[in-house]
Structure 1
Amino acid sequence: MMLYLSLDSFFGILFSGYLLEKGTSSATTAWVFNIRIFVGDLVTPLIRPLVQEFGWRRIGYIGVFMSSFSVILSAFSPSAEFLFFSYSLLSGLGMGLVIGMSFIILPLYFDRRRGLANTFLMAGICLGQILIPPFIRYLLDNYSYKGGALIYGAMLMNGFVAVSLFHPVEWHMKPRRKTDQPPESLASLIPQKGRSDGPQEPMNLLDVVPQHEGTKEEPDWLAVADQVKVKRTRRDTSHRLSECSQESVISNILSGNIVSDTNCAPPDNKEGYKGNRCLGVIKTLWIILVRVAHRTKSDVGILRLSRVFVISLADTLIFSSYHNFIMMVPFVMESEGHSLQDSAWCISLMGICNLATRLIVSPLSDWKRFDKRLCIMFGCVVIGSTILVFSFVTDLVWMTVALAASGHGLGAAVTFYTLVMIQYLGIENLAAMFGVSSLMQGCGFLIIGPAIGR
């Protein structure tokens, strides 16, 4: 989150010199920035269906690669219009996947102390806003726009390491009591359910064989093993018989299992089998695409709930207004005669104030008497007031004070972004609610952002 979400905060610092050199209008700059966020929000509702098909880490790796490649490609941009492809489209797709996954996956690992875990997530966002802008300014001063973009694009590749740590929960769970565990010789017979690259619940032999309530006798593990062997034999036989089906082709390819030609085709008709196999892959991809579309449509249907609409609308107004305000800060300060370095330090100060507020209020969410709604309302009032003040002042000191106060307001307003969704809709609806909220935010950026640019 420190590396990826902070990009929106220093967009003006990284691209302002290049865009001003090209004579780009404020409207075009606003479109480049807002289309990037729109694309990222547009892809967010697809995260849960895609994860169900391919797993957390596969989707995360794709997002990291696209994000890094987009910034590197932007370093060689021949014109401002090229940024619509290299930055707005590619970065929007990649960062939409990575950032959305990070928000959705974290609460799945916690039943309690969810607020404390959220504190560290929000701290990462603020640290990016504090540390990255001065660092980007240093890169621009010493390596020019192209060198700075290349170095930052390479830094984003560290996301591969972060995504690889999306481990299944069962890898880190404490073992059960010895009386509940099978002998070591039978450990290989324990079946696993679900995918192996995301948070999920474990499954052992006690889940396969029903236990009699009220008894403390240890199960007959040899009998259990026999039953499991029978089930496994039937499953393997069924798998071999259906190995040439459309869905099994793509599943074997994705899991790294290359299906042998001799398993599915006569020895004298291998060329025809290869053609059928390619056709099967295409049909299977189409089936997956249709399935993802149906699941996405089902998730978006949650917008019919009035509570979902109100929360999504509030998030849209907060994020679209505030992000566009931060994006325009370097341009406004430069027009008033202040340097780009002043803008970088002011945005960093916003991050410091944002971090301080989040570290205070986020752990309080675990306290039942703490009212999240009042905190969010207070933060919105502070944000609106400080943006209004910033519009009328020209002195560097007062600009800095206004930006620092807006950082405090942002921390109070958006710290409970996902926690409010869980509180009112349950964690089982978090992914759908987060996707719908992001989709509305994307539409808000397309409406509010260009209006600000005019």
Structure 2
Amino acid sequence: MSDIKPWAWVILAASFGSMFFNSAFFAAGVIHGALIERYPDVDVGTIAWLGSLFSCMFALTVFVGSIIINLFNARTCVMLSGLLTLVGFTLSSFVNDIKLLFVTYSLIAGSGQAMSFAGSMVTLAYYFKENTSIATGIATSGCGLCTFVFPPLTQYFIDTYGLSGAFLFLGGLGFQSAVCGALMKPTEYETRPNKLLKCLNLCKRKQTKKILIEKEQSKKNVTEPNEQKSSRFLSEKFVLLTSAPVWLLFISSAAFHMALSTVYLFLPGYFKHLGSSPQESAFILSIAGITGIFSRILLGFLSKSVDTSLVYSSTFGIMGLITFFVNFMSSIGSKITYTALLGFYTGACWTLQYTLLVDIIGVKHASTGYGMMMFFSGMGYLLGPPFAEMMAVWFHNYYFAFVFAGVCFMVAASTGLMIRTKTNKILLLSDTEINDGEGDKCLLQPEKHIIISDEKWIIKQLITSV
């Protein structure tokens, strides 16, 4: 890591802090129980939709964050996320109508967490191009710490200040991500369009005379480059929609988040059903945060030497098998064991997903690709709890909600195993550096044909990687 810029370590710390302060969706299960007590006359399914929508927004609206990053930079995205979280939770503390909570709590507060996650992940790819998995593993351990701290802390806020007071505290904590975002100095990739425009204007001035002399001849010659540019543009924009590994990753991500949202939303209530108190249930759930911290860092390093898709899929498969036996976990020891394994085997999912995505599509398309991947993740978060609720009502037993989660884990494992990006042959061309004569350098990246092949398929992608 000797080639990493010194400010990159500040970025790493800021990303860690942003993910820690703005990841209240890990406490959605605790808030779900408080909402059921606050609105006893409201259908439980409606409250489940409220919690699932809040949880899914961190992924469903990441594409908004990617748009802001493309228009401005990651710093603006993360700072805006803190403001949205503050506004959303503050308004929720004054709302009594559950219908309005769908706007203030689920949409506004949830969107703030989405943008924080998007900005932090993308800026890490800019600063740690060669060590993305390790950097994201360390940064996303902030989510693991949040998983440990926020459930019991949120339960304490609810017990002491009520649900309205808890919303205020969560909004204040989430706003701290704006401070972390202020430290995320824009990189050359975010300011690159202005440099490219400068180079193009310089080239235009130098070639004006030549263009005037050869005007008639250039009419024929311009047609082919324009057609090639149009073709390259379409290929670049639609590469995500024509890549089998990308679609496998999207499907795996959706299935995994259907399982994860179901477990985190229903597990505190199910532990109460098995004899635990509310505070004990929140504490048991927080154990997943501690083991999640270790797994994020450990698997981030492990993916440097082992096929990332193999690690990614095997963790989900193991977690799916364990989830099928949640009905037998009545003792305090078995409950702690399950949540510890839950954190360990699912904690590094975002690290591994992002590493796989960058391996497939390159860094330049990271923000767009990440937005699309998190959209599928958000759909999983949105649909998981309601479907699990339907399963529980259909069989008159909440254990079948976890059966549904186990099946989703297994689907995520099987599709993730099919990606196998590390065993594919990747052929990249080198970059071309052009000096504009005024002290600035422009990186004109050549198009890179990445050929991904194995026994099953051959896919040709047109990608520009920075």
TM-score (norm 1): 0.68
Distance in 1, matches of 2:74 and 2:294, equals 31
The equivalent residue for 1:351 is 289
Which amino acid in structure 1 is aligned with residue 124 of structure 2?
Answer: L
Q: Please state which structure has a larger fraction of its residues in strand.
A: 2
2:126 is aligned, of 108, 113, 135, to 108
Task: Give the equivalent residue in structure 2 for 1:285.
Answer: none
Residue 321 of structure 1 corresponds to which residue in structure 2? 259
Structure 1 vs Structure 2: percent identity of aligned residues? Answer: 19
Q: Aligned residue for 1:182?
A: none
CA distance in 1, matches of 2:118, 2:308: 22
Closer/same/farther in 2, CA of residues 82 and 453 from structure 1, 3 Å limit: farther
1:215-274 CA distance string (max 9 Å, x none): xxxxxxxxxxxx9xxx9xxxxxxxxxxxxxxxxxxxxxxxxxxxxxxxxxxxxxxxxxxx
- Report the equivalent of 1:305: 243
CA distance, structure 2, for counterparts of residue 448 and residue 25 of structure 1: 18
User: Which residue matches 2:184?
Assistant: 166
**Worse overlay, 109-118 or 302-311:** 109-118
Matched, 1:400 2:336: yes
* Secondary structure, aligned partner of 2:178: helix
1:58-110 C-alpha deviation (Å, 9 max, x unpaired): 33333221111111222222133332111111123222222122222211112
Provide the rounded CA distance (Å) in 2 between the counterparts of 1:347 and 1:63: 26
The Cα shift of 1:36 comes to 2.6
Within a 5 Å distance, the mapping from 1:189-228 to structure 2 comes to 198=190
Secondary structure, aligned partner of 2:365: helix
Instruction: Give the equivalent residue in structure 1 for 2:218.
Output: none
C-alpha separation in 2, matches of 1:86 and 1:22: 17
What CA distance in whole angstroms lies between the structure 2 residues aligned with 1:297 and 1:440? 22
Native 8 Å contact 1:34 1:449 kept in 2: yes
Task: State the distance in 2 between where 1:415 and 1:132 align.
Answer: 21
Q: Which residue of 1 aligns with 2:28?
A: 11
- Identify the residue that residue 324 of structure 2 maps to in structure 1: 388
Aligned residues: 341
Counterpart for residue 115 of structure 2: 97
The AA in structure 1 aligned to 2:33 is S
Residue pair 2:82, 2:174 contacting (<8 A) in 1 also: yes
Q: Distance in 2 between matches of 1:199 and 1:120?
A: 26
Q: CA deviation at 1:296?
A: 13
Task: Note if contact 1:379-1:412 (Cα within 8 Å) is conserved in structure 2.
Answer: no
Bigger shift: residues 295-304 or 114-123: 295-304
CA contact (8 A) 1:357 1:411 kept: yes
CA distance in 2, matches of 1:329, 1:12: 7
By how many angstroms is 1:299 displaced? 5.1
Equivalent residue, structure 2, for 1:245? none
2:241 and 2:247 in contact (8 A); partners too: yes
CA 1:445–1:48 in 2, change beyond 3 Å: closer, same or farther?
closer
**1:343, distance to aligned residue in structure 2 (A):** 1.3
Q: Paired residue for 1:60, among 69, 78, 85?
A: 78
Q: What one-letter code is carried by the residue in structure 2 that aligns with 1:153?
A: G
CA distance in 2, matches of 1:296, 1:43: 24
C-alpha spacing 1:411/1:297, structure 2 compared with 1 (3 Å) = same
Distance in structure 1 (CA, Å) of the matches to 2:265 and 2:171? 20
- Using the TM superposition, give the Cα deviation of residue 42 of structure 1 relative to its aligned residue in structure 2, in angstroms: 3.6
Separation (CA, whole Å) in 2 of partners of 1:434 and 1:336: 39
Following superposition, the deviation at residue 388 of structure 1 comes to 1.4
State the Cα RMSD in Å.
3.0
- Evaluate the alpha carbon distance shift between residue 427 and residue 347 of structure 1 in structure 2; reply closer, same or farther with a 3 A threshold: same
CA contact (8 A) 1:130 1:350 kept: yes
Q: CA deviation at 1:122?
A: 1.9
Partner of 2:419: none
**Alignment of 1:447 onto 2:465:** no
User: Matches of residues 112-261 of structure 1 in structure 2 within 5 Å?
Assistant: 112-169=130-187, 198=190
The AA in structure 1 aligned to 2:72 is F
Post-superposition offset of 1:131: 1.7
CA distance in 1, matches of 2:341, 2:234: 39
Gaps of at least 5 residues in structure 2 are 1-18, 206-232, 391-466
Stretches of structure 1 that go unaligned for 5 or more consecutive residues are 171-193, 210-226, 232-294
Change (3 A) 1:297 1:29: farther
CA-to-aligned-CA distance 1:16-63 (integer Å, 9 cap, x gap) = 223223114331122112223444434322333333333333333332
* Alpha carbons 1:315, 1:437 under 8 Å: kept: yes
**Contact between 2:58 and 2:110, CA under 8 Å: does it hold in 1?**
yes
SS in 2 for 1:9: helix
Aligned to 1:83, the other structure's residue is in SS state helix
Name the SS for the 2:303 alignment partner.
Answer: helix
Q: Does 1:50 align with 2:68?
A: yes
Distance in 1 between the 2:85 and 2:260 partners?
23
Could you tell me how far 1:168 is from its partner in structure 2? Answer: 2.5
TM-score by length of 2: 0.66
* 1:305 CA drift (Å): 1.9
Is the contact between residue 107 and residue 114 of structure 1 (CA under 8 Å) also seen in structure 2? Answer: yes
Amino acid at match of 1:387: T
**CA shift for structure 1 position 143:** 2.1
More deviation in 75-84 or 32-41? Answer: 32-41
How far apart are the structure 2 equivalents of 1:432 and 1:203? Answer: 21
Counterpart selection for 1:332 from 248, 266, 270: 270
Give the secondary-structure state (helix, strand or coil) at the position aligned to 1:343.
helix
Considering Cα pairs closer than 8 Å and 6+ residues apart, tell me whether 1 or 2 has the greater RCO.
1
- Aligned mates of 2:266, 2:172 — CA distance in 1: 26
Equivalent of 1:2 in 8, 17, 20: 20
**Against the structure 1 CA distance between its residues 62 and 111, is the aligned structure 2 distance closer, same or farther, given a 3 Å change threshold?**
closer
